[in-house]
């Protein structure tokens, strides 16, 4: 049994693993599912969680060090990573002269 805390510590020490290729059919299916989920479309096989309704996913790829630092700092301040990212994005919007938009 592993805990989230253990997984964060493992992330810090992990070396980048090479990407593995998925069979073409599986990759296309995964992309189609993630696209449907991000747009709020729902089907009987994968309903959208209430906390995700009306929201859109934003994905970025960061170094393991950045990921570890963000997870640990959010946890230290009793925040979810999503809330920490929303705060950071709103701060960036203010810096760029735009109005913050919330979560």
CA pair distance 73, 60, nearest whole angstrom = 18
Q: Tens digits of per-residue pLDDT, 13-32?
A: 665 455 554 455 555 444 54
83 contacts 74 by C-beta, under 8 angstroms: yes
Which has more pLDDT, 92 or 18?
92
Average pLDDT over residues 67-88: 96
For residues 81 and 84, what is the distance between their CA atoms, to the nearest angstrom?
Answer: 5
Q: Compute the C-alpha angle 11/48/76, nearest 5°.
A: 35
Confirm if 60 and 66 have CB atoms less than 8 A apart: no
For the entire predicted model, the pTM comes to 0.53
For the chain, the domains span: 20-52, 62-103
């Amino acid at each position: 049994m592993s805990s989230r805390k253990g997984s964060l510590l493992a992330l810090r020490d992990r070396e980048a693993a090479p990407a593995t290729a998925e069979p073409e059919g599986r990759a296309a299916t995964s992309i189609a599912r993630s696209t449907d989920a991000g747009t709020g479309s729902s089907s009987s096989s994968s309903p959208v969680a209430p906390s995700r309704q009306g929201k859109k996913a934003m994905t970025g790829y960061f170094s393991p060090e950045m990921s570890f630092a963000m997870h640990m700092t959010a946890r230290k301040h009793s925040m979810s990573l999503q809330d920490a990212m929303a705060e950071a994005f709103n701060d960036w919007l203010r810096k760029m002269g735009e109005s913050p938009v919330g979560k």
